[in-house]
């Protein structure tokens, strides 16, 4: 099935949403690139045997782990942003994927890639915990 052509000449609210999404997108991709470089730098340094003290090794590993975990969280956000862009292109943006109600503009401002309204989101969080 042919994919619907993504419409890029947004106006008004759609344009605002589009720009907010793209801002998050660039922020996250920029951050990821930076962090990937840092993680690479660190493992290169380890290979060269720069770190010799045991205490340094363990703290290095801890921040390495953290870096990797952070990378996958950023990846999640990117996927959400891409989904939101897709919904925007189909005029579905801002609709809660659970109850179909519109997500408040205030919430979209904080989290442009939000999938659920506040009500459904907190319901889900309660179920998860
Ligand atoms: Zn909802």
Q: How confident is the model at residue 49 (pLDDT cuts 50, 70, 90)?
A: confident
Alpha carbon of 6 to ligand 1 centroid (Å): 26
pLDDT attached to residue 52 = 54
Mean predicted confidence (pLDDT) in 15-41: 93
The single residue listed with the structure tokens 């419409």 is 7
Confidence (pTM):
0.72
CA distance to 10, 16, 113, per residue, from 103 (Å) = 19, 15, 11
Question: Of the given ranges (33-42, 44-53, 87-96), which has the lowest mean pLDDT?
Answer: 44-53
Residue 48 has pLDDT above 60, yes or no: yes
Alpha carbon of 29 to ligand 1 centroid (Å): 28
Q: Are 67 and 38 in contact (CB under 8 A)?
A: yes
| Residue pLDDT, tens place only, 80-120 | 999 999 999 999 999 999 999 999 999 999 999 999 999 99
Rounded CA-CA distance 101/92 in Å is 11
- Ion ligand 1 contact residues with beta carbon within 5 A: 96, 98-99, 117, 120
Alpha carbon of 30 to ligand 1 centroid (Å): 31
Domain ranges of the chain: 10-92, 94-129
The single residue listed with the structure tokens 């619907």 is 4
Q: What is the mean pLDDT of the chain?
A: 85
Alpha carbon of 89 to ligand 1 centroid (Å): 20
pLDDT attached to residue 97 = 94
Burial degree of 122 (CB within 10 A; 0-12, 13-18, 19+): exposed
């Amino acid at each position: 099935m042919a994919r619907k052509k993504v419409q890029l000449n947004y106006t008004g609210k759609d344009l605002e949403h589009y720009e907010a999404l793209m801002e998050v997108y660039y922020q996250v991709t920029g951050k990821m690139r930076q962090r990937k470089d840092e993680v690479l730098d660190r493992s290169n340094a380890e290979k060269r045997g720069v770190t010799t003290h045991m205490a340094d090794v363990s703290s290095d590993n801890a921040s390495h782990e953290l870096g990797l975990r952070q990378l996958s969280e950023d990846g999640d956000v990117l996927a959400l942003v891409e989904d939101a862009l897709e919904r925007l292109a189909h005029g579905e943006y801002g609709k809660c994927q659970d109850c179909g109600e519109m997500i408040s503009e205030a919430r979209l401002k904080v989290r442009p890639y939000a999938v659920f309204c506040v009500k459904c989101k907190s319901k889900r969080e309660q179920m998860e915990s």
